[in-house]
Structure 1
Amino acid sequence: MALGQEEIRTLDQLRRRLVELAQTLQISRTGLLQSDPLPTWQELKLEQDFLVRRISAVQQALNENSDFFTAAHAYPLSTFPGQSREGFLGSILQKKLEIAPREWVAKYSKSFSNQEEPDSLAIEDYESLWQWAAGSNDEFLAEFRSADHFDDDYTIAEREMGIASVKTGLRRKLDDGDSDSDGDEEMEDVVDSDDAAPDGSAVVEPGIDQKLPPVRLETILRFISSGKLLPQ
């Protein structure tokens, strides 16, 4: 049965919205991989809102014409070059998703109640647990704040074992607790005896080229998220 003009316009409208959504996703992905510096949170939020509007437009088109899309099916015309375009024809006529998309759809199509495990906590139990944990942590942290543990250069364990044997790797003197409380003395660069060469200069670790510039934090984050290391 041939399609009418209204049904053809419906299909074309859905096609255009899907193309716009795919292009928007590709632009966002390319921007995250290649932009330097990385986009700000405000820019990412705007892109997210734009993607949500694109997805909502596709969902609206599907909902408004659900009966037609459910009953419609594709079939090739007799003039279509089926032998030379077999792969393209198969992708068009394929009714089932690939395995990976099918599993993704099945996973995120479940309702929230079906995703919960039988022994999971209810929302009220979670709220009660967080309220109890907040008050309990306040009492626990109050002891550390009153003892100035957060302002100490050494951990509690290092203080108990003795700070003389602690290797911090820093090039400055830390407060050992015996210095004056005014804290106005100028800090001087020092080198530990274990890390010093016979002539008194600092020993460079093997494999480290001090002439290279430091790696920026954005480059490290980009490598962690994408696995690609862009040139500096």
Structure 2
Amino acid sequence: MTHQYVFVVLATGLGLVLAAGACAQERTPPAPHCMDAVGVQEVEQASARTIALRAASGQAYRIDFSEDCPGVRDATTLKLEAPDGWACGRPSERVVVDGRSCAVSAVTPVQDRDYASVARDSDRLHTATLPAVTIRERKDIRRSFGGSPSYCFATRNVRAWSSDPQGMLVETNPHRNGGHRYYRVELGSHCRQLDRAPQLSFHSGLQNGLICGNPGDRIMTAEFETDDLRGESIAPLPQYTRGSCAIQAVYPASSKASN
């Protein structure tokens, strides 16, 4: 069987992808696990043997290499070569990093939680290995780890929240969070305070206004102390008992009903 090869040029910076030979009509994968390489939105790398990608459909995938293939995040040119534009883990598939060819050994769909973990580790690694530069203007200083809408939301953009057995679902402004409206927030343990807290706020462990599941990211709650309001002819100001719950993971949820 003769395959037409599609060469997809990937730009890693903001997840922008330019695809050559893209087809407008609906495409049928050769196997259920295959990734449509046309229109890939994001590329992340947290280890030399794997990368994570988010397809145009929103589904996340992991691509494993036959041997170490470092430098994907820092590449000037990055191409995914796959027959008919489908990456399935076949011997003919490869990722070309600045002219260096890396053979693909496997392609696997992954959950949003797993993709968010790779993206978070990728950003941390990339930030830690940036070359030293001379700062000439104050506006060029990067004060802390920035994060990405793939695994973070800004506290200032929170619109609403609700608790459930999986933790918390947060609604944000999608225009200011990479197009994501809902985020799943997983907690270190069951946070019983969420069911009765009249007040709630998010605390960023890095103090940058982003909630990403980083160490120190917490939900701060406040409960009424109802005993202090009994037997008073004139109700005093409400008294609160404060608590907190550690945040373990953050990732976009496809809808309000998503787990």
Q: Normalised by the shorter chain, which TM-score bucket?
A: under 0.3
Q: Give 1 or 2: higher strand fraction.
A: 2
Q: Provide TM-score, normalisation by structure 1.
A: 0.19
More helix by share: 1
Q: Which has the larger radius of gyration?
A: 1
| TM-score, L = length of structure 2 | 0.18
